[in-house]
Structure 1
Amino acid sequence: MSDIVEATKGFVKQKLLGEGSGHDWWHIERVYVNSLKIMVGTTEVVQKEVVELAALLHDIADWKFHNGDETIGPRTAREWLESQQVDEKLIGHVCQIIKDVSFKGAGVQTVMKSLEGQIVQDADRLDAIGAIGIARTFAYGGYKKRELFNPDIEPSMHRTAEEYKSQQSTTINHFFEKLLLLKERMNTPAAKALASERHQYMVKFLEKFLLESHQEKSVHFEMIAQFKD
């Protein structure tokens, strides 16, 4: 492991350890480990240091916690990497990944410009689904004081990033508006294989949640069918 990767681990851990919305240091560590796993399963040549640094820095300053400012993440990452005298080409690649990595709405395409970006995006999305994804979704919903579930509020398939950023929805709706869509949006074969089981775990959870909520005739329950394999 390079010195800059090790130093970046310490920098990010110091900033995010103990954060309560599900975007904490342990999320970063899981994304980092997922990135390495996906990279191992990739037959193409990958710039390992780019993947490692982008995975570690991808949530260093998330727009969701900075009034929707999408520039603050890449800017904060750049400031850190420049302070470590990292090569400009590498910095530019890492910052581009951070800029593009986030989900921006059901109707918005978020195409990564490099294989390294695809790997980090897949790793981040894997941590948004499955058992971990369920836990993080409710942590974030509580952090934002969102209503847990309201059968009268239907999921919205946001057509623009602006619609997605300004949404006022429920935690359960977030599964339909984002998380259940991620399996089909994985970039790499390795991530697609890992995503399948996690996706089905969420489907089963939602089905059980809605049954226990006596909502088997709701729009939400009807929507689940389209996400079953």
Structure 2
Amino acid sequence: MGDYRGVNELQDTSPEAPGSPSVGATPDGESAAGEQPVKPVIRAAAAKRANASVIGMIIALALSIGAFLPVVLMNPSPKSDGYRPDINVSAIAQNAAGVAGFTPVAPETGDTFRSNYARWESGSGSGVATWEVGYLTPKESFIGLVQTRQANPTWLLQQTKNAPVTGTRTAGGRDWQLRDTGKGEKSMVLDYRGTTVILTGPASLEEFSALAAAVVTSLERNPAATSSPQAIPAP
């Protein structure tokens, strides 16, 4: 009999037939380790129920807002203009007249300008005693008033923030010196009836002129400053 071992060896080492699956492969041609996870699919009925729940919540929220909105509109929150201190400028000016040596101005501005402070400063730091009043303007800006009978060039530059003279402006029948820093702050200066009055702030020139006219009226109503300020007695 012939030797068939050579034939068997050839059969064992023969290449795999085309199209035959490799060892360890699945019938679909993918390895078991490389299978993709299956994505869950929500059924149409379940998705419809979920959407219905969301729509119901939105409708309920809209109904709640609609129920409370008329109550809120019928009870608006009270309007507040903020704190307005009750400053009697005229009374404080009369009290300061005894030590000032002149009657400080108390412009009558009605309800257009509101004062937020009025005081007499002895000038212990600057050497210049002053009457000072702060005014809130109709446009919610600010103008500070300073009056003294001891003005000097250095003090004047300090009060006007070193602003240069840019012209004059007539108010109350008097020509006021106009100074402007170019950065929003401006000043109007008037030497009249023995005192110097300075108005300073970021307000508009129209508001400056309105307050300046009231200042001139007050200056002309008061006696001119002639006497020296009384010294404050030492304690």
- If the length of structure 2 is used for normalisation, what is the TM-score? 0.27
* Higher share in strand: 2
Q: Which has the larger radius of gyration?
A: 2
- If the length of structure 1 is used for normalisation, what is the TM-score? 0.28
